Amino acid sequence: MKRIVLSLALVVALGLSLNSCRETKEKTENAVEKEADSASDAVNDAKDATSKALEDATDVASDALDSAEDAPNDAIDAVKEGAEDMANKAKDVANDTVDKVKEAGNDAIEKALEAGNDAVDEAKGSIGN
């Protein structure tokens, strides 16, 4: 009789542990999805900024060509300087985006590991009791 009661208690404990693991898995998946969305937003922001920088560079080049009739040397210098500035800005935006994506990925991994460790600790605690 004792064995039957203990077996039932063990089955109940394992059932509760599995439910906790499912909840932890769902929480982890939600955290990873949220971080992926953040990374996607960061990439989209970088894409928009790069497009704007290219539009600005095009506008600067166009304006420089219009004024090139009056001052060819000044226009060439302005285009070179504007293009270098835009290229540097685009590089900065791309580097910032890569950093944000890395940070979001690392945060997601840390949250997943933390959730997994919590689940293991809960499972150990319920088995030990």
Measured CA to CA in angstroms, residue 15 lies from 1, 22, 124 at distances of 21, 11, 13
According to the model, what pLDDT value does residue 54 have?
A: 81
Residue 88: domain span: 26-118
Residue 129 domain-assigned? no
Does residue 84 lie in a domain region?
yes
- The string of pLDDT tens digits covering residues 27-82 is 777 776 787 777 677 778 878 888 887 888 788 878 767 765 666 677 677 778 88
User: Domain for residue 97, yes or no?
Assistant: yes
Q: Is residue 2 part of a domain?
A: no
Examine residue 7 and state whether it is found in any structural domain, yes or no: no
Residue 33 lies in a domain: yes
Q: What is the pLDDT of residues 105-122, one digit of tens each?
A: 788 788 878 877 877 777
**Which amino acid type is present at position 76?**
I
- CB-CB contact of 91 with 53 (8 Å): no
- Number of structural domains, the chain? 1
Instruction: Give kind and range of the element (H or E) at residue 46.
Output: helix 2-67
* Predicted local distance difference test score (pLDDT) of residue 1: 67
Is residue 94 in a domain? yes
